[in-house]
Amino acid sequence: MAETYPAVTVSLWLNFTPLIVAFMAILFLNEFPTKLQWIGVLIFIIGIFTYFFPVELNQNQTTGLIVMTIGVFANAASAVLGRNINREAKINPGVVTVVSMGIGSIILLITGLLIQGIPSISFQNLLFLLWLAIVNTALAFTIWNFTLRTLSAMESSIINGTMLIQIAVLAWLFLDEFISLKEGIGMLMAAAGVLLVQLRIRNKKPPSV
């Protein structure tokens, strides 16, 4: 039987990405977070744990755990690679998006057709796909690559982690999904952690003699 984890567990695991990105950025990009940013990451992770608590990990699911861990490290490596390419600002963000997303999407399309065949797509689904392709992918990733010119790998990665907060708020507004007190506290802590990571304290210049 295939091993599976609930979506909540997978989401929790993926939110460790900023921490891994921080260490990878130190090793490969020479980007060292400040003490305040480390505190922000810690508060963010505590907030995520608070939101998802309690999380039950079933026994004998080693394969699923390994797959999730590989996914987290692959996601972190993608963030570091994207920062490395964009921080020199030599390549247009649009070009970076077309090359990276183009290659990946072609591989996914071919794989999907080989495994599942040609799907039946309704007109409504076609509109959704066009929206996802143009707005959520092409436009969003072009803007994302542009921000990677100035944001460090960890700063951008932890912003990406705020999707948890965005989804919860949107689900509350449009789907009437209740946000409990525990979830609200966790979201506020995560948001505070993200804010601390984005703060940059400038060193004061010594007075001129």
DSSP-derived secondary structure for 148-206:
TTTS-HHHHHHHHTTHHHHHHHHHHHHS-----HHHHHHHHHHHHHHHHHH--PPPPPP
- Give me the pLDDT at residue 84, please: 93
Categorize the per-residue pLDDT at 128 as very low, low, confident or very high, splitting at 50, 70 and 90.
Answer: very high
Q: How far apart are the first and last CA of the chain?
A: 75
Mean pLDDT of the 124-130 span: 92
pLDDT of 120 above 60 = yes
List CB contacts of 29: < 8 A, sequence separation 6 or more: 80, 83, 84, 87, 152, 153
Q: From 198, 195, 199, 179, select the one nearest 50 (Cα to Cα).
A: 179
pLDDT tens column, 93-116: 889 899 988 888 899 889 999 998
Identify the helix (H) or strand (E) that includes residue 113: helix 93-116
The Cα 30–Cα 87 span in angstroms is 12
- What are the angstrom distances between the C-alpha of 85 and each of 57, 68, 148? 37, 26, 9
- Give me the pLDDT at residue 69, please: 87
Contact, 96 vs 87, CB < 8 A? Answer: no
pLDDT tens column, 159-209: 888 888 888 888 888 888 888 899 899 989 999 999 988 886 544 444 444
5: which 2 tokens?
């984890």
pLDDT tens column, 3-48: 555 666 677 788 889 889 999 999 999 999 999 999 999 999 999 8
Question: Cα Rg for the chain, rounded, in angstroms?
Answer: 20
The Cα 22–Cα 9 span in angstroms is 22
- Give me the pLDDT at residue 200, please: 65
Contact, 191 vs 161, CB < 8 A? Answer: no
pLDDT of 2 above 60 = no
Categorize the per-residue pLDDT at 131 as very low, low, confident or very high, splitting at 50, 70 and 90.
Answer: very high
List CB contacts of 184: < 8 A, sequence separation 6 or more: none
99: which 2 tokens?
């090359």
